């Protein structure tokens, strides 16, 4: 199902921005912290073919497409809150997204 989703590179610009802030250990506003955790948790559920409740964020769908079948999907399962996103994890995810966009 995820393979049929067209790739929309610009859709993840906000996610890339937040991940860059985390990777460089810069402050992230609370609203963006919540947004990133929501996108990641929904994306992991979608990549694992699990049901998601409510409205699914378009960025989550795009991220799920990018991480589906990748070891990074497994690593992202630990994300339960913003504090669980380490600079290393953010950097690896950012690198993956940048390579997908190229």
Neighbours of 91 (CB within 10 A): 15
- Region of 80 (left: φ > 0; alpha: ψ -120 to 50; beta: rest) is alpha
| pLDDT band per the 50, 70, 90 thresholds, residue 86 | very high
10, pLDDT greater than 80? no
| pLDDT band per the 50, 70, 90 thresholds, residue 89 | very high
The per-residue pLDDT for range 23-75, each reduced to its tens digit, is: 999 999 999 999 999 999 999 999 888 777 778 899 999 999 988 888 888 88
Neighbours of 26 (CB within 10 A): 10
> In this structure, are residues 5 and 62 in contact, taking their beta carbons and an 8 Å threshold?
yes
Closest CA to 22 of 95, 99, 102: 95
- Give the whole-angstrom CA distance, residue 86 versus residue 79: 9
Sorted by where each begins, the domain ranges of the chain are 2-101
| pLDDT band per the 50, 70, 90 thresholds, residue 2 | very low
């Amino acid at each position: 199902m995820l393979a049929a989703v067209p790739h929309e590179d610009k859709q993840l610009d906000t996610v890339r921005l937040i991940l860059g802030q985390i990777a460089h250990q810069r402050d992230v506003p609370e609203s963006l912290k919540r947004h990133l955790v929501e996108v990641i948790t929904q994306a992991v559920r979608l990549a694992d073919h699990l049901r998601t409740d409510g409205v699914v964020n378009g960025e989550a769908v795009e991220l799920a497409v990018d991480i589906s079948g990748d070891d990074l999907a497994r690593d992202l399962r630990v994300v339960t809150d913003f504090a669980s996103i380490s600079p290393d994890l953010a950097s690896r995810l950012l690198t993956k997204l940048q390579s997908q966009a190229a």
